Structure 1
Amino acid sequence: MSDTSFNCVSVSRKALQSNYKFIESRVAPGVKVMAMVKADAYGHDMVLTARALEDVGCTVFGVAELCEAVILRKSGIKGQIFVMLGFDPENAAIFVEHDLTPAIFSSRAATALSRAAVAAGKQVEVHVKVDTGMGRLGVMPRDLVGFVKELDTLPGISVQGVMSHFPESDVPDSSSTRDGFSTFEQACSLLAGRENFVRHIANSGAVLNFPDTNCDMVRAGISLYGYHPFGKQPENGSDGNRLIPAMTFSTQIIQVKDLPKGAGISYGHTYRAERDMRIAVLPVGYEDGFSRILSNQGEVLIHGRKVPVRGRICMNICMVEITGIDGVQVGDEAVLLGRQGDAVITADDIAEKTGSISYEVLCLFGNNNKRVHRE
C-alpha cells in the first residue's frame, strides 16, 4: 500500500537560495539578513528551507513560537534563532537549554528568563520589542528606556537589541513607514552607547522600498519565497522580478468525461454545462488548500493552457473544463500553482480571486499537502 498522494507541493531549493542572495544584495555590507521561517516557512517546510539557506550563508532565523525554534535547533540548525511571539514563563528554561533568542516585551517573561539563566549558570541574549505604530506586540516607545533599564538589573540576561515592525512598508509612498521609522530611531537613540547593539525593523517591503531603514539587520519573509509583499509582481525590468517563486503545486487527472449541455456540475449545481463539454476530475479540494471561494472562478494549467474550474470545489475533488484540448487523459499533470509550458499561475493570481494575499495561499497549499524539495 502506497502512502503517496496524487497531490504534491514542490519547492525549489535554488529559488530559495537565489532569493536570499538577492535580498543580501539589496542591503549594505555588514547588515545581516534574518530569514523568517515561521509558519513552516510559509508552507515551504521550515527545516528544509533553513538548511537550504544555511548552505548559502544565512546565520539568523526567525520563528513565531518557541516550539518552532526547538524543532529547528533539534534538526541541526546552528545559527541564531529568534522567537517573536513571546513565551509562557514556565518555558523560560527552554531558551537556555537550546540557546534561543526571545523578543521580550513583558517584565514577567524577562524575570522568568533571568531565573532560568541564573539556575543554568548561563547568559541569554534578548531583543526588546517596541511598538512604533503596528498596534501589536511591544512596549510603547515612551516606556522603552525604563523597560531596558529594568532588564539591565536582571542577572543572566543581556539586552542585545531592539526591534519593531512596519505596517505598510509594502506601499512605496506610505507615510506610516516614515513616521514609524522616525519613532524607532528616536527610541533607539536613547539607548546609544551600547556595544554590539542590533537594531532591526525592516521587513520584506522595507528591504525593497525603504533601504534607508535597514539598520543593523533586516527580516526577510515573503520575499524569501519569491513574492513581492505588495501583491502582483512588479513590471518587467524592476528589481522585484529577480524574486523567483519557489513553490509549485500540482496534481494529476483521475477521470476524463463528457457531459451533455445542461448537465449540472458538483454540489448545488451552481454551474450547468452551457454546451456539450469535456471535463477533467482532479483529486484536490479545499482540504488541500484549494479554496472553495475559487468555485466557478479558479483556474488550473493542463497541457500548458489555463482551464476554468466548473462547479463548487469539494473537500477532496474539483472539476475543470477541458473542452477543445486534444489528448487529455487520466494521469496527465494539472498545475494549480506554478508554470506549465508558457502558462503560469502565481499565488498572487489565486489571492486576487479569493480576496486574500500570497502569504495565505502559500501556507494553505504547503501545509496541507505532501512536499518535496527539488535540487
Structure 2
Amino acid sequence: MKSLNQVTISRSALEHNYLICQQLAGGAAILPLVKADGYGHGQLDCARIFAELGAAAFGVAEAVEGERLRKAGITQPILVLAGTLASTLLSLVEADLTPVLVDASFVSELSRLAGKLGRNVGVHIKLDAGMGRQGVLPEEFATAVQAVQRAEHVHLAGVMAHFPMADERQSESSAEVLRTFIATTEQLRQLIPEKCCLHLANSGGLFYVAGALFDMVRPGIALYGYYPDGAAGRAAAEPPLLQPVMRFTSRVLQVRQVPEGKGLGYSHLYTTSRPTTLAVLPVGYEDGYLRSLSNRGAVLINGQRAPVVGRVSMNLTLVDITGLGTVQAGDEVVLLGRQGQEEITADDIATWMETISYEVLCLFGNLNERHLVA
C-alpha cells in the first residue's frame, strides 16, 4: 500500500536542466552535486541520469554517499566535498573516492593507506577564497600543495573554491572571490609540473559570474529546476527556462462544513469568519510541511489555490475550499507543482517558510515516498 503523500521526480526535467547547464558551461566539464540524496530528488536515480548525459564527476558531502554511488555502478570520480576525518580515510580509499582537503592534516595518513592498498589517490584542495567556512587560506595554499607533492601515494588532481554570494547578480563578493582564486592558483605553475583541474562555479557562478567556468563547474540547485536567486531569477531568466523536477501531492482525506466563529486546530490559531468548507489533508510537519506554513501556505485543488487555515500539525493540515467547486475525499491535492494552469513552486513555499528552495526540496524529497517518472 502506498502513502497518500507522494513525491514524483521528472526524468525529462532533469535532462532538460542538465542540457541548459551544459550549454552555459561552454565546454567545461560538469560535476553534478548529488549530495543530500540529490537535494531530495534521489541520489542514485539522478546520478545515473546525469552519467548517461555525460557528467564528468559527481559531488557528495560524505564518503558514505560516495560508497553508495559506487555500489550502484557509478564509475566517474566522486568528490567528497565536506572534508573527511582519519576514521573515514580507509573507506574512502577502498571506494576510490576523491577527498577534498580542507587542510593538509591527513595527507600523510592518506598516503600511507593508499600505499598499503597499492593505490595512488588524487585529491582536490579546497581554497578559502572568501567563503570563510572551510578551506586553505591563500597564504597557506603553497604549503598545502607542497605537502601533497611530498606524499608518495597522493597527487594533486584539482583545486576548488566556493562562492558565498553567487545568488546575488553583479556581486562584488563574487568578483573578489574570482580574483583571489585566479591569483592564488597561478602559483601552481611553479609548484607542480602537471596541470590540475580548477573549479569554482556553483549554479550561481555558472549563471551569473562571468569568467568563473575554468575546467569544471558544479551545478546543484539548477539541475533540480530552480534558480539560485529564487523567483527573481526565474522572472529575469531568458528561455529556455529551468524546469522544476519535483512534484508533491496528497489526497483529500475529508470534506467538512463548519460554521462562522469556529476555532480550528491546535491553539485555535484560526477562527472562521463565515460558514466555511474545509478539506482535511493527511500531511503535516512529519512530511516536511512545516508548522511555519500555518495560516500562510496554500495548495492546489481543482486547479485553484486553497489557503492553509489553522495550525499545521504532525499529520493533518486544513485548507479552506469554500467556493472551489465540488471536492470529494480522495481528490488530488498538489502541495508542490502544477495542477491545471496553476502552479506552486518551491520558491513560493520557501517564501512562506522564510527559507530557500533548497530546504523545501530536501524536506519534501527526503521525508516522503518518491518515484521517478518520465
Tell me the TM-score normalized by structure 1.
Answer: 0.97
Q: Could you tell me whether the CA contact under 8 Å between 1:89 and 1:108 is conserved in 2?
A: no
Residue 235 of structure 1, CA deviation: 5.5
Residue 93 of structure 1, CA deviation: 1.7
For 1:13, the equivalent position in structure 2 comes to: 11
Question: C-alpha separation between the residues in 1 aligned to 2:298 and 2:102?
Answer: 45
1:109-138 CA-to-partner distances (Å, cap 9, x unmatched) read 212211111101110100011101111110
Residue 233 of structure 1, CA deviation: 4.8
Q: Could you tell me whether the CA contact under 8 Å between 1:90 and 1:112 is conserved in 2?
A: no
Task: Choose from 21, 24, 28 the match for 2:22.
Answer: 24
How big is the alpha-carbon RMSD for the aligned residues of Structure 1 and Structure 2?
1.2
Residue 83 of structure 1, CA deviation: 0.2
Q: Could you tell me whether the CA contact under 8 Å between 1:280 and 1:322 is conserved in 2?
A: yes
Q: 1:188 to 1:40 in 2, by over 3 A?
A: same
Q: 1:28 to 1:139 in 2, by over 3 A?
A: same
* Gapped regions of structure 2 (runs ≥ 5): none
Q: Could you tell me whether the CA contact under 8 Å between 1:288 and 1:364 is conserved in 2?
A: yes
For 1:36, the equivalent position in structure 2 comes to: 33
2:156 is paired with a residue of what secondary structure?
Answer: strand
Task: Choose from 129, 132, 145 the match for 1:132.
Answer: 129
Read off the aligned partner of 2:269 and give its amino acid letter.
T
1:58-96 CA-to-partner distances (Å, cap 9, x unmatched) read 131000011111111111111111001111212212222
2:158 is paired with a residue of what secondary structure?
Answer: strand
Read off the aligned partner of 2:145 and give its amino acid letter.
V
1:176 matched to 2:182? The reply is: no
For 2:146, the equivalent position in structure 1 comes to: 149
For 2:59, the equivalent position in structure 1 comes to: 62
Question: C-alpha separation between the residues in 1 aligned to 2:345 and 2:296?
Answer: 15
Question: C-alpha separation between the residues in 2 aligned to 1:196 and 1:331?
Answer: 60
2:140 is paired with a residue of what secondary structure?
Answer: helix
Q: Within 5 Å, which residues of 2 pair with 1:336-355?
A: 336-355=335-354
* Paired-residue identity, %: 43
Question: C-alpha separation between the residues in 1 aligned to 2:135 and 2:61?
Answer: 14
For 2:109, the equivalent position in structure 1 comes to: 112
Task: Choose from 83, 87, 91 the match for 2:80.
Answer: 83
Question: C-alpha separation between the residues in 1 aligned to 2:239 and 2:140?
Answer: 38
Question: C-alpha separation between the residues in 2 aligned to 1:149 and 1:82?
Answer: 21
Question: C-alpha separation between the residues in 2 aligned to 1:346 and 1:167?
Answer: 24
2:106 is paired with a residue of what secondary structure?
Answer: helix
Read off the aligned partner of 1:329 and give its amino acid letter.
Q
1:71 is paired with a residue of what secondary structure?
Answer: helix
Residue 238 of structure 1, CA deviation: 2.7
For 2:202, the equivalent position in structure 1 comes to: 203
Question: C-alpha separation between the residues in 2 aligned to 1:318 and 1:194?
Answer: 62
Question: C-alpha separation between the residues in 1 aligned to 2:193 and 2:338?
Answer: 50
Question: C-alpha separation between the residues in 2 aligned to 1:342 and 1:22?
Answer: 25
Question: C-alpha separation between the residues in 1 aligned to 2:19 and 2:104?
Answer: 38
Question: C-alpha separation between the residues in 2 aligned to 1:141 and 1:50?
Answer: 33
Q: 1:240 to 1:106 in 2, by over 3 A?
A: farther
Q: 1:194 to 1:307 in 2, by over 3 A?
A: farther
Q: Could you tell me whether the CA contact under 8 Å between 2:282 and 2:317 is conserved in 1?
A: yes
Number of aligned pairs? 372
1:286-313 CA-to-partner distances (Å, cap 9, x unmatched) read 1100010010111000000001001000
Q: Could you tell me whether the CA contact under 8 Å between 2:234 and 2:241 is conserved in 1?
A: no
1:285 matched to 2:284? The reply is: yes
Q: Could you tell me whether the CA contact under 8 Å between 1:233 and 1:241 is conserved in 2?
A: no
Q: Could you tell me whether the CA contact under 8 Å between 2:227 and 2:234 is conserved in 1?
A: no
1:313 matched to 2:332? The reply is: no
Q: Could you tell me whether the CA contact under 8 Å between 1:118 and 1:156 is conserved in 2?
A: yes
Q: 1:219 to 1:240 in 2, by over 3 A?
A: farther
Question: C-alpha separation between the residues in 1 aligned to 2:34 and 2:235?
Answer: 28
